[in-house]
Chain A
Amino acid sequence: MSAHSNALDHAHDDHDAHHDHHQTFISKYIFSTDHKMISKQYLITGLIMGIIGIAMSILFRLQLAWPNESFTVFEIFLGKWAPEGVMDPSIYLSLVTIHGTIMVFFVLTAGLSGTFSNLLIPLQIGARDMASGFLNMVSYWLFFLSAVIMCCSLFVESGPAAAGWTIYPPLSALPNSISSAGTGMTLWLVSMAIFIASSLLGSLNYVVTVINMRTKGMSMTRLPLTIWAFFVTAIIGIVSFPVLLSAALLLIMDRSFGTSFFLSDIYIGGEVLHNSGGSPVLFEHLFWFLGHPEVYIVLLPALGISSEVIATNARKPIFGYRAMIASILAIAFLSTIVWGHHMFISGMNPFLGSVFTFTTLLIAIPSAVKAFNYITTLWKGNLQFNPAMLFSIGLVSTFITGGLTGIILGDSTLDINVHDTYFVVAHFHLVMGISALYGLFAGVYHWFPKMFEGKMMNKNLGYVHFWVTAIGSYAVFFPMHFIGMAGLPRRYYSNTAFPYFDDLADVNVMITIAAIVTAAAQLVFLYNFIISIFYGKTGEKNPWKSNTLEWTTEHKHIHGNWAGEIPSVYRWPYDYSKLNEDETDYVLAGQDYVPQTVPLQPNEEEMNH
């Protein structure tokens, strides 16, 4: 295979030498098949969706802190859904639903995995581009289309989907159950169906590229952990996304063609529906068969990015490289057989609940191994606190805090009383929301120079961004555990309808204030991001002194990544601070890192990589 691909590379080199690529504006910036441009498209689309998603969360946090009060901002953004500035209960549910959908799928799946898989897979494995540049382009434009449809659904007369991001039928299946279960829900389903197609095309491309297009010497055990994470993420996506598509299709049939996959014995709006024999529990199984792996589709790329960033900035090899790969594989495998822990009290057989408790708690083991390995990587390092490093350390911190409460929720017994309360909200926001966002930020700060031709983001603004976000997000989500333990259900428009929860009002105010401050800190990031694209200082070719292949390319983006031959690889990517055999100096004198392209040195001890 490698001989074959080398021959192709040489053909490509000749090709490059003879022609300049004449690109029009459209082929360069819009319908580009170049993975670097596509990754930027993913990132910017993802960030825009992120702004929408976070803004929504601020709107409903205002309602939760000061229920039934009038806000001008509601009048501006919600219009008829906020008569006299007071939020309507049905738009509250829509906001919660669309916030969840956007953040999980559009920001953390496409914005994170889409951006960095596209940017890093070819650059870090030493390939000229993705296996199929065309499919890659189609994948982005399908994603864009689905994002546009999702945004359009916000302007539907009867309101956007409001059945929760899990869209459980019958609520989502009966257009007359709530006003927003009509056109808004249809658009939601259409948008998701297109999103799934986009995700599948992208994932297939990633898998094929990683398997077939590694450069000479780049064995699987010499891959950076980022690539392992993207590779395994793509596989989970291919396994689980089609199941969500089938769930969506069956739901569309129930809604529009009178079938009864998920519906039975329903009396609504003064009449009995004809449906019989279906079961909403079936939908829950199908949904969570994707829904749970989705958590890891979101999280694994973030963990891969943090592994790479921590090793580089600690100037140390990642501790337990093989254990890290093994735990990625173990997490991926287990992630497909734990979905039932979302359904302990759904009415499914209690015995199944026992099985899912068992598999769920097992997943804590590889997660613990990863956390310990990160901590050991920091030990006796020479830590360079670049913003990306801070976000990676922050990721480990929230991953531990959020992951630990998973031990409570994964236990079927304990789940009984905290299921669907704010305890769950706190748990998943910390472990997948905040952690994955930190991964996204770490990636942006670290690879910004690679995306924008050597420009670097301002580090001081990065520090402000990190510290305010780190304090703010703990202040938002840690107290939430306690209102969950008080038995406060999530997705309540207001908890003042009856007096029992009155004493929680103060905590809700505190959380909302922290949320607003944290969201404001993201404006610092946006400012830094946009300004740096145009006015950022141009740094060195390899600013973080990193070993991986992407830093051997020039600042200027060219089609095919390397002007000459693709570099060959002689070692794993983590030879940081490795000493020579007599331990007098580093392997390369005076330089604490050995890029993957450097052959084994005469005075160097060989490792098994």
Chain B
Amino acid sequence: MTVFLVLIVIILFAVTLWQMSKIYALSKGKSKDVSGEVANDKDNSVNAKLMIMFTVFLYFLMFYCFWYYSKFYLPEASSEHGSKYDNLMFISIALIMFVQIITQFLLHFFSYKYKGEKGKRALFYADNDKLEFIWTIIPVIVLAGLIIYGLFTWSDIMNFEEDEDALVIELYAQRFNWKARYAGDDNTLGNANVRFIEGINQIGIDPSDADGQDDIVTQELHLPVGRQVIFKLRSQDVLHSAYMPHFRAQMNVVPGMITQFSFTPTVTTEDIRTTDYMKEKMRTIQKIRNDRNKVLAAAGEPALDDYDEFDYYLLCNKICGESHYNMQMKIIVESEEDYEAWIKQQETFKASIADQE
């Protein structure tokens, strides 16, 4: 499909150049023309036509992008607040595309229609208070609606209420990987500070704090479906940002302070793998990778890793150094039972210290 788009672009370029060469030839022919480098009627009419062609190009580009590239959109949100986010996004995009289509049409159509001609008289039209009032007040009303809707959603997401069974997890960022710390049986995270980092205590849990003894540090993020998770984010070195696109969740991780974000996952990893969206996406990616493997095999290079199952992921989204682009963590959303079984297998902080000694 890209080839097609590239072709269209090239053709339009070619047409443009052809039209250009035409005017060039025309203007060369009329060397007596006193106007010199000032646009004459010919220039005006050619450029007016190009304006219309440009409008066609612009509408085509927008249509093409929405038609073929909207499949790149993230799947439906896998978190409770995510559906509200998606609604607001849909309304906003519909609104701005409506305005975009109308204003771009007017702009380019007027440019075409009112092209200059010798002897034509422009309309002296300097002011119209009524008109200006109308197009001030319409954006005011529309934006007021958007602001109110947006702010209610924002406050729902950020000023969340803590459920009784909410799970507290610390996300710990260091260049260039993520760790998760579960609060353990007491559901309270022990104190921590970079000054406690020593040996196996890689994330600086305070060894003297009783709350921290049952904390569990893991390399993967497992979340039970349908249970609220409260993330406490902590960084050991520079700014990072914990970006979980499928859950419509993102929060910066700031050294020296603890930031937080909360959501309730609603779709398990298992379930999202079976959606049509994800199956289709995996098919596309596998096809791309197979094609590339053929090229690699021909060049005698090792094949790419297999990629046959989708997993949620957490990305770093704040520039943090050379390997910023490769700083991620796998997220697994699973049933409460699976989660309990998994967490039981993990070693507590106390046990890991004891092991070391």
Contact = CB atoms under 8 A, between A and B. Distances in A.
A89 to B, nearest CB: 5
Given A170-B237, A382-B114, A383-B44, A278 B256 contact: yes
B19 to A, nearest CB: 8
A474 B61 CA distance: 8
B103 interface: yes
Interface stretch (A10-18, A24-32, A342-350): A342-350
A503 B248 CA distance: 21
Contact of B325 (A487, A494, A536): A494
A319 B125 CA distance: 7
A512 B284 CA distance: 22
A503 B107 contact: no
B229 to A, nearest CB: 16
Contacts of A277: 256
A539 interface: yes
Interface string B287-330: 01100000000000000110100100101111111111110100
A279 B313 CA distance: 28
A321 B249 contact: no
Contact of B194 (A265, A500, A579): A265
A22 B33 CA distance: 39
Interface string A484-526: 0111010111110111101111110110011001000000000
Nearest to A401: B100
A479 B175 CA distance: 31
B240 to A, nearest CB: 10
Interface stretch (A33-41, A49-57, A149-157, A413-421): A413-421
Interface string B1-20: 11001100100110011001
Contacts of A280: 239, 254-256
Interface in B10-42: 12-13, 16-17, 20, 23-24, 27, 36-39
Contacts of B204: 267
Contacts of B123: 316, 379-381, 577
Given A385-B44, A577-B123, A164 B319 contact: yes
A393 B111 contact: yes
A52 B38 CA distance: 31
Given A503-B72, A537-B36, A413 B154 contact: yes
Contacts of B243: 420, 487, 489
Interface stretch (A71-79, A223-231, A365-373): A365-373
B151 interface: yes
B114 to A, nearest CB: 5
A313 B317 CA distance: 46
Nearest to A494: B325
A470 B154 contact: no
B230 interface: no
A217 to B, nearest CB: 19
Interface of chain B: mostly helix, strand, loop or mixed: helix
A539 B39 CA distance: 12
A381 B127 contact: no
Interface string A156-181: 00000001100011110010011000
Contact of A416 (B13, B85, B255, B289): B85
Contacts of A90: 322
A220 interface: no
A265 B114 contact: no
A407 B16 CA distance: 33
Contacts, number: 403
Interface in B133-156: 135-136, 139-140, 143, 146-147, 150-151, 153-155
Contact of A503 (B9, B251, B288): B288
Size category of the B interface is 35 or more
A191 B126 CA distance: 45
A498 B328 CA distance: 9
Given A170-B238, A378-B107, A483 B72 contact: yes
B27 A460 contact: yes
Nearest to A387: B39
Contacts of B135: 368-369, 372
B13 A471 contact: yes
Contacts of A400: 99-100, 103-104, 107
Interface in A458-493: 458-460, 463-464, 467-468, 470-471, 474-475, 478-479, 481-483, 485-487, 489, 491-493
A385 B43 contact: yes
Contact of A471 (B54, B62, B157): B54
B143 A380 contact: no
Interface string A321-351: 1110000000000000000000001110010
Given A375-B110, A396-B107, A463-B47, A319 B146 contact: no
A152 B321 CA distance: 22
Contact of A539 (B16, B37, B246): B37
Contacts of A178: 321-322
Contact of A170 (B108, B239, B326): B239
A428 B121 CA distance: 38
A364 B139 contact: yes
Nearest to B92: A408
A101 interface: no
Contact of B104 (A365, A401, A408, A502): A401
Given A346-B254, A365-B139, A577-B123, A413 B20 contact: no
A314 B120 CA distance: 11
Contacts of B325: 89, 491-495, 497
Nearest to A577: B122
Interface string A391-412: 0010011001100110110011
Contacts of A221: none
A392 to B, nearest CB: 10
Interface string A542-585: 01100000000000000000000000000000101111000000
Contact of A266 (B155, B236, B289): B236
B324 A493 contact: yes
Interface stretch (A285-293, A352-360, A431-439): A352-360
B179 interface: no
A256 interface: no
Given A171-B239, A413-B154, A464-B17, A272 B127 contact: no
Contacts of B37: 456-459, 536-537, 539, 543
B9 A364 contact: no
24 contacts: A90-B322, A163-B319, A168-B239, A174-B237, A177-B237, A280-B239, A320-B126, A321-B126, A345-B250, A345-B251, A353-B158, A372-B132, A378-B114, A385-B43, A397-B104, A400-B103, A407-B143, A420-B317, A471-B13, A486-B72, A492-B324, A500-B285, A506-B2, A510-B6
Interface of A: 89-90, 93, 163-164, 168-171, 174, 177-178, 263-268, 272, 276-281, 313-323, 345-347, 350, 353-354, 357-358, 361-362, 364-365, 368-369, 371-376, 378-386, 389-390, 393, 396-397, 400-401, 404-405, 407-408, 411-414, 416-417, 419-421, 456-460, 463-464, 467-468, 470-471, 474-475, 478-479, 481-483, 485-487, 489, 491-495, 497-500, 502-507, 509-510, 513-514, 517, 536-537, 539, 543-544, 574, 576-579, 592, 607
Interface of B: 1-2, 5-6, 9, 12-13, 16-17, 20, 23-24, 27, 36-39, 43-44, 47-48, 50-51, 54, 57-58, 61-62, 65, 69-70, 72-74, 84-85, 88-89, 92-93, 95-96, 99-100, 103-104, 106-108, 110-111, 114-117, 120-128, 131-132, 135-136, 139-140, 143, 146-147, 150-151, 153-155, 157-159, 174-175, 193-195, 197, 204, 236-239, 241, 243, 245-246, 248-252, 254-257, 259, 281, 284-285, 288-289, 304-305, 307, 310, 313, 315-326, 328
Given A177-B321, A474-B57, 14 more contacts: A93-B322, A265-B194, A346-B254, A347-B251, A369-B132, A376-B131, A414-B150, A475-B61, A499-B304, A502-B289, A505-B288, A510-B5, A543-B37, A592-B122
The 4 closest A-B pairs by CB, nearest first: A264-B256, A487-B245, A350-B158, A482-B69
